[in-house]
């Protein structure tokens, strides 16, 4: 009887076909790629192992090597069924990297099924009750998957390499995924294991006695035995040295790579060894503050330290733990993983909320979860972090984001947000809606009710809460400019519905590198490659406008700009981005009147304050003398290095009557943590005055940060009180700084979620 005639094989084949059909209905999984490979790697090997065990039971008299090869062949046939279906699906859903996608399929479930076949034969050979061998064999890949989950749980590693399952790349929002070298070495070890298990089984299997004969067969097949043992030793060594090979990462390895550890009152911070003492002290203070603040908010009395890892860059973080752009917390380990950024760190507070709430979360993951803590509720977990840290993104708080989504009929339902379906939503929509809803839950039902909901992993009476939340959101004030700003992020699709998300992520990274290198020819090629995949990718079209204009292809640049202007799907801030690079290019070729007119147009369009301030500075320079124009051109358009910008800004200060030069100098110095040098420049800029409201408001903000960094807390508080009157976002930021000042000066902290000033008095 051949393998294909077995009933279990036919059932397995039907299951494999159903899996393939199921995957084609999800765009992210409908083609060969890392996600579909992982799905097959988890689902197919148990069936392959059971089939191999059943086949071995019925063919005891077959030569050992033949048993292994027949089982592997059957396993690969089962693997080929969904792989073929996904290949056909690529005729319907675009496959941008077919070679890499197929490589994921071969390296992951392909090798996993071959290993499962070997495992099935070995289980059948050693099982004392052969009729139970298919079930035992199926349990082997399942156990290996659980071991991979344990690696994720017990180490700082975010990615997971599984012997059968293959590659789990980590956070779903970290879309820059490709085959890492460490994965190749891991799968090479698995291939060696497959060969070794086959050779060893052939050496020891005695068809005449239908059993493994270690004594007689071992002596007569000594060469095969020695070769297989040597190969298995290599596999064992690869596991033993997995930390060095990057197959997993230990805490000690991370500490060694980063090189510096500082302890605060509530935090243990691991950071790059080259971090200056003052910067390290600020980093620890930043961490201590957020932990203290969150514990005071939730009423925790714990003194258990939280560990924070700060990597040098996204690249180093991705190389070491598996995720780059995405920031990660492992609450059950009381650890957070971030890359170095400006001080104070913009996302540290959010991640630390996860670690602090572990004190009230459910084991084993110490988060909001149901089913005995095994099924996390990502909406409640992330909503809690966004609410307690009160994340402000692009000058809008979660309530404002949610109000805009409600008005556009794009606000996810509360049932969707507070469930596992949260992960299928576009990131900005999901996080901001969840943060606003959880903050509203706390405001209306109290912190104790929130903590009970977090512990239970669900929110009771959600429909009633949702109705009140919507009534509240309709009273949240938003301006026309703020609505326009939100267009960009709200236009981003979910990674589950995006076409070629990983290829697009790589091309976007290439585009950033091209821009940094000022390689306009390469930028044009990269933009065209992005637009070939996603025609509505307005950011690439905006970059294309500037690259075309800078290379003298003005008519093509204007055509692209006009296409953006007329596209109904193009968010206005992205049209503004294209317009700005076109204005910069006009300045570069000497069309100053045109550039000035375009900057005027830009200042009437919806953009964040940071973006608008740059346009204001350029506009001011064009209104000044030729020397001023030349200096600002070198700073903002030719993008000189920081050291050169400080020199250029000093020259600008010498020839302007207002404080613009001093302001630009101070910004550069603050960016490099030279606060003592920045302070007199800020004070001089205030004395001389600035020409626009936005610049003046930012100068006050800079004064608040600098005074705090230098220990002048009273002056810092005065600056933050003044800055807090600017907007809801500014008020939220100012409130956080005032809390920080209170903790340092008085040793006490009375944090509050957004006050009635930043939320309408009509809120419940």
Residues 303 and 256 in one domain: yes
* Orientation angle between helical segments 277-298 and 378-389, nearest 10 degrees: 110
Residues 159 and 192 in one domain: yes
Phi, psi of 61 (to 5 degrees): -85, 0
Query: What CATH number did the domain enclosing 255 receive?
Result: 3.40.30.160
Query: Domain containing 487: what range?
Result: 369-499
Which portions of the chain are predicted below pLDDT 70?
Answer: 1, 171-176, 218, 493-499, 536, 567-571, 755-764
For residue 483, CA distances in Å to 175, 209, 528, 684, 759 come to: 27, 78, 29, 36, 17
Distance CA(367)–CA(455), nearest Å, equals: 8
Residues 193 and 50 in one domain: yes
H helices of 624-641, where? 626-632
Residues 340 and 199 in one domain: no
Residues 45 and 188 in one domain: yes
For residue 710, CA distances in Å to 595, 674, 707, 713 come to: 40, 10, 5, 8
Residues 392 and 411 in one domain: yes
Estimate to the nearest angstrom the gap between the alpha carbon of 600 and the chain centroid.
Answer: 36
Residue 643 lies in a domain: no
* Orientation angle between helical segments 728-746 and 693-709, nearest 10 degrees: 20
Residue 23 lies in a domain: yes
pLDDT at res. 94? 75
Residue that is last in its domain, among 306, 324, 359: 359
For residue 181, CA distances in Å to 39, 141, 299, 314, 758 come to: 21, 24, 46, 17, 50
- Structural domain count, the chain: 4
Residues 517 and 460 in one domain: no
pLDDT at res. 568? 53
Residue 684 lies in a domain: no
Residue 399 lies in a domain: yes
Residues 409 and 545 in one domain: no
Residue 136 lies in a domain: yes
Distance CA(504)–CA(529), nearest Å, equals: 9
pLDDT at res. 118? 95
Residue 444 lies in a domain: yes
Kindly state the helix (H) or strand (E) to which residue 336 belongs, with its residue range: strand 335-339
What lies within 8 Å, CB to CB, of 732 at 6+ separation is 390, 392, 397, 754, 758
pTM above 0.85, yes or no: yes
Query: What CATH number did the domain enclosing 576 receive?
Result: 1.25.40.10
Virtual CA dihedral for 695, 698, 703, 709, nearest 10 degrees?
-140
Residues 574 and 447 in one domain: no
Distance CA(316)–CA(326), nearest Å, equals: 13
> DSSP of 384-413, one letter per residue?
HHHHHHT--BTTB-HHHHHHHHHHTT-PPP
Residue 53 lies in a domain: yes
Residues 69 and 210 in one domain: yes
Residues 467 and 593 in one domain: no
What lies within 8 Å, CB to CB, of 744 at 6+ separation is 713
- Among the listed residues 579, 654, 647, the one whose alpha carbon sits nearest the alpha carbon of residue 618: 579
Residue 364 lies in a domain: no
Residues 20 and 146 in one domain: yes
Residue that is last in its domain, among 574, 589, 607: 607
Give the pLDDT confidence of 147-189 residue by residue, as tens digits: 989 989 999 988 889 999 999 887 666 666 778 888 999 999 9
Residue that is last in its domain, among 464, 499, 534: 499
Neighbours of 183 (CB within 10 A): 21
As given in the structure block, the two tokens for residue 246 are: 């990057």
């Amino acid at each position: 009887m051949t393998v294909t005639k077995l009933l279990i094989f036919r059932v397995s084949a039907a299951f494999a076909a159903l899996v393939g059909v199921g995957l084609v209905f999800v765009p992210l999984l409908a083609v060969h790629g890392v996600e579909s490979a992982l799905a097959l790697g988890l689902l197919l090997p148990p069936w392959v192992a059971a089939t191999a065990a059943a086949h071995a039971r019925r063919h005891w008299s077959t030569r050992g090597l033949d048993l292994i090869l027949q089982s592997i062949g059957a396993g690969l046939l089962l693997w080929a069924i969904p792989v073929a279906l996904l290949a056909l699906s690529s005729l319907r859903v675009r496959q941008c990297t077919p070679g890499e996608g197929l490589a994921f399929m071969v390296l992951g479930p392909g090798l996993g099924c071959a290993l499962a076949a070997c495992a099935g034969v070995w289980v059948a050979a050693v099982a004392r009750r052969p009729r139970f061998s298919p079930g035992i064999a199926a349990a082997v890949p399942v156990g290996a998957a659980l071991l991979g989950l344990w690696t994720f749980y017990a180490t700082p590693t975010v990615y997971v390499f599984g012997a059968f399952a293959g590659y789990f790349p980590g956070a779903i929002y970290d879309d820059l995924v490709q085959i890492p070298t460490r994965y190749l070495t891991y799968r090479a070890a698995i291939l060696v294991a497959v060969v070794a298990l086959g050779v060893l089984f052939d050496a020891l299997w005695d068809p005449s006695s239908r059993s493994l004969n270690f004594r007689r067969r071992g002596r007569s097949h000594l060469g095969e035995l020695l070769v297989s043992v040597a190969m298995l030793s290599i596999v064992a060594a690869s596991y033993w040295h997995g930390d060095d090979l990057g197959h997993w990462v230990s805490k000690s390895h991370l500490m060694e790579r980063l090189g510096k550890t500082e302890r605060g009152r509530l935090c243990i911070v691991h950071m790059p060894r080259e971090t200056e003492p003052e910067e390290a002290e600020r980093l620890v203070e930043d961490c201590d503050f957020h932990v203290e603040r969150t514990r005071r908010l939730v009423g925790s009395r714990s003194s258990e330290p939280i560990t924070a890892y700060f990597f040098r860059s996204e690249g180093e973080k991705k190389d070491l733990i598996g995720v780059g752009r995405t920031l990660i917390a492992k609450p059950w380990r009381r650890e957070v993983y971030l890359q170095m950024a400006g001080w104070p760190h913009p996302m540290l507070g959010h991640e630390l909320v996860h670690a602090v709430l572990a004190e009230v979360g459910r084991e084993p993951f110490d988060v909001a979860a149901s089913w005995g803590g095994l099924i996390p509720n990502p909406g409640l977990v992330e909503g809690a972090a966004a609410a307690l840290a009160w994340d402000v993104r692009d000058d809008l708080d979660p309530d404002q984001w949610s109000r805009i989504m409600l008005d556009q009929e794009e606000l996810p339902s509360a049932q969707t947000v507070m469930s596992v379906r949260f992960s299928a939503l576009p990131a900005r929509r999901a996080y901001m809606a969840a943060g606003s809803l959880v903050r509203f839950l706390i405001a209306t039902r109290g912190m104790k009710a929130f903590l009970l909901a977090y512990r239970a992993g669900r929110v009771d009476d959600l429909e009633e809460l949702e109705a009140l939340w919507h009534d509240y959101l309709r009273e949240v004030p938003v301006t026309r400019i703020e609505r326009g700003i939100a267009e960009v992020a709200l236009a981003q699709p979910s990674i589950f519905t995006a076409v070629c998300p990983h290829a697009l992520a790589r091309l976007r990274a290439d585009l950033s590198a091209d821009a940094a290198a000022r390689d306009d020819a390469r930028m044009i090629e990269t933009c065209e490659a992005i637009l070939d995949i996603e025609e509505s990718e307005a950011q690439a079209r905006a970059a294309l406008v500037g690259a075309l204009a800078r290379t003298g292809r003005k008519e093509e640049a204007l055509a692209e700009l006009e296409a953006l202007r007329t596209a109904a799907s193009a968010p206005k801030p992205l049209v503004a981005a294209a317009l700005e690079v076109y204005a910069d290019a006009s300045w570069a070729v000497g069309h100053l009147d045109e550039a000035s007119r375009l900057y005027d147009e830009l200042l009437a369009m919806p953009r964040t304050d940071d973006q608008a301030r740059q346009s204001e500075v350029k506009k001011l320079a064009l209104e000044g003398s030729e020397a001023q124009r030349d200096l600002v051109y070198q700073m903002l358009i030719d993008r000189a290095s920081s050291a050169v910008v400080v020199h250029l800004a000093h020259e600008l200060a010498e020839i302007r009557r207002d404080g613009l030069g001093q302001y630009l100098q101070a910004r550069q110095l603050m960016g490099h943590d030279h606060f003592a040098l920045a302070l007199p420049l800020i004070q001089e800029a205030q004395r001389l005055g600035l020409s626009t409201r936005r610049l003046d408001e930012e100068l006050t903000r800079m004064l608040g940060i600098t005074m705090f960094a230098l220990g002048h807390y009273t002056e810092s508080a005065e600056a933050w009180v003044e800055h807090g009157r600017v907007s809801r976002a500014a008020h939220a930021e100012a409130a956080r700084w005032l809390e920080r000042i209170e903790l340092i000066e008085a040793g006490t902290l009375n944090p509050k979620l957004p006050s009635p000033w930043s939320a309408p008095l009509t809120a419940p």
